[in-house]
Structure 1
Amino acid sequence: MAVYNGQEYIREQLESLKDQTYTEWRLVIRDDRSSDKTAEIVKKFSDEVEQEVIFKVNEKPSGSAKNNFALLINDAKESDYVMFCDQDDIWKKDKIEITFNKMKQAEERYGRDFPLLVHGDVEVIDENGNINADSMFEMSHINADSKLPQILIQNHVTGCTMMCNKKLIAGISEYASSEYIIMHDYLAALYASVFGKIEVIKKPLLSYRQHSGNSVGAKNNNNPVYLLKRLANGRKSYKEAMETSRNQVKFFVEIYRKELAAEKYCEEYELMSGYASLGSRAKLYRIMFYKKNHIWKNGTIRKIMQVIWG
């Protein structure tokens, strides 16, 4: 769990961990130098539960949830399985049990020595716990079964629902804090889609709290207000986001070049290298590349923006 000034909601999240039907868990928390009562709340919780709770305070602020989670990934890289926890959500009582069962099924199918990622849906709640949406997959028009071509341009894996096995964590731990990585869950999704497998649980695993302090929020990609705002931000903002996406993929190809050189990954290498180079290509070439490789964002309006500005 990555925390920073989480006193308002963290107790509810911790209580939801205490109530889990699967009880053989260990909680590792990194505090990004909070100035509120977060540490006191965690200490009290630690005294109340039988499970091990490890509380670490960063020597200096990491500066972002992404960087704090990157530190946690390194903390947990010797663990057999890792789940990621936000400070302000509320887990369903059977979240760990359901996710772990799905992971075990994946291991039976593919083997333990294989990068595996399990993730699922969430319900979206407001600051007071009222449900805004029963499914973020539906609200954000997410294709939960997206493959690598779609993941290149749009991540569909929500980090707070993920379970990663040891093989996957070992593959990404060194690079999760890089400036070119958009978020740890995005790197995990890319790595699993290339070198491993992604399994989806198509039901809400937690209540995802949407409020003004979210680092990353749930978005309705077909909401007219959201789309008008994106249009108002205009060409410059959209092209910057696309460039960030391409730079992430370029970085991925560079750091995993040795693995991608294997013959069985030649299609993935060609696809990712082509996508990473699109910034230097003419618009018509980019459009034809998207079409040929089925690389499209979700939603009609977003596809139109991709054609015009992408």
Structure 2
Amino acid sequence: MHTNAESRTPPRVAVLLATHMGRTYLDEQLDSILDQAGADLHVFVSDDGSTDGTLELLAERQAADARITILPPETFGAPAPNFFRLLTTIPIEEYDYVGFADQDDVWMTGKLERHIRLLAEGHADGISSNVTAFSEDGTRILIKKDYPQRLADHLFETPGPGSTFLLTRRFARLVAEQLDNPDSPAREAFAHDWLIYALARAAGLRWIIDGESTVDYRQHVANAVGANTGLSQAWKRLRLTSNRWHRGQVQLTVEACIHVASPEELPRLQWLHEILVEFTYRDALRLVRRWRQLRRRPRDRAALATLITARLW
């Protein structure tokens, strides 16, 4: 006789993999996903104009494993619209969870099983985690993302790389609906992971940032963003923040979040939206008074407050 635990059907998980010129590291990433235990998973792949043999490799993997589906290739020019295409194309209702994967990372053994368990135990709709950045020279650095969440950090930053994300079906459906909402600027977002996190928090859903590193985050010259380590990455992010690009993305995120806002969150979003429309010196002072709520890591909060005060944000 089988016990209930033995006969229970494993949760169905759709993993969304966006590729672009990724043949070099793709095999290792696919192996780390397909070897995950504790779930009935299926990998959906969308390619963005690869000419390096990525599609040929994917076709070989698909022929050998029925758990891989390749969508017709298109040209997107950036990771976010590629992931948005995946999220609005796959049959979400057939899956219990939706995850995201980059083409060049490596999932740790047990990542999926752990995050399914944490979502259930925490009654949460989204989860991300710390990652370990690694380079070809053997350097490994823990990238800590699990600083305590603040009142408005979701409007100013991601909760970690999207390759660590796992969403419940109901939340994945909400995101897909907003991407298809003609009145929302959601599809214009630069970073899919930032947008998704913001929508969850704005809707009053619980998000967990796991303190365990569940992905080896490969660093190389072709990274779309890369880990925030070293002076070069810090300088790159400072330039993006100080040339008003970051402020524009915050404004877009706020506008997208208003469409899903919970009654508790809506007044805060409307207040911030009002401030950002013209962003006068008085508006900057109003915002900087709340600097402790804008980022999770203390030094990031201080840096952002300095830029706002100096009118460089």
Task: Give the one of 112, 115, 130 matched to 2:138.
Answer: 130
Q: 1:185 to 1:306 in 2, by over 3 A?
A: same
Contact 2:151/2:294 (CA < 8 Å) preserved in 1? Answer: no
Identity %: 20
Mapping of residues 245-256 of structure 1, within 5 Å: 245-253=250-258, 255-256=259-260
Q: 1:168 to 1:229 in 2, by over 3 A?
A: closer
Match of 1:191 in 2: 199
Mapping of residues 62-73 of structure 1, within 5 Å: 62-73=76-87
Of residues 191-200 and 292-301 in structure 1, the stretch that sits farther from structure 2 once superposed is 292-301
Q: 2-side partners of 1:190 and 1:81: how far apart?
A: 18
Match of 2:190 in 1: 182
**TM (normalized to structure 1)?**
0.81
Match of 1:55 in 2: 70
Q: 1-side partners of 2:254 and 2:274: how far apart?
A: 9
Q: 2-side partners of 1:198 and 1:32: how far apart?
A: 30
**TM (normalized to structure 2)?**
0.81
Task: Give the one of 273, 277, 302 matched to 2:274.
Answer: 277
Contact 2:288/2:305 (CA < 8 Å) preserved in 1? Answer: no
Q: 2-side partners of 1:206 and 1:240: how far apart?
A: 28
Q: 1-side partners of 2:235 and 2:33: how far apart?
A: 39
Q: 1:270 to 1:23 in 2, by over 3 A?
A: closer
Contact 1:150/1:294 (CA < 8 Å) preserved in 2? Answer: no
Q: CA deviation at 1:150?
A: 1.5
Residue 295, structure 1, aligned to residue 300, structure 2: no
Residue 171, structure 1, aligned to residue 174, structure 2: yes
Aligned length: 283
Q: CA deviation at 1:23?
A: 5.0
Task: Give the one of 110, 127, 131 matched to 1:118.
Answer: 127
Unaligned runs of 5+ in 2: 1-16, 181-185
Mapping of residues 87-236 of structure 1, within 5 Å: 87-107=103-123, 116-126=125-135, 128=136, 130-133=138-141, 135-137=142-144, 142-176=145-179, 178-195=186-203, 196-220=205-229, 226-227=233-234, 233=239
Q: 1:64 to 1:171 in 2, by over 3 A?
A: same
The alignment partner of 2:88 has SS state of helix
Q: 2-side partners of 1:11 and 1:227: how far apart?
A: 31
Deviation beyond 6 Å, 4+ runs, structure 1:
none
Unaligned runs of 5+ in 1: 111-115
Q: 2-side partners of 1:187 and 1:6: how far apart?
A: 24
String of CA shifts for 1:123-180, please: whole Å, max 9, x gaps: 0011x272330x211xxxx454323412212222321101001111111113348453
Q: CA deviation at 1:230?
A: 5.6
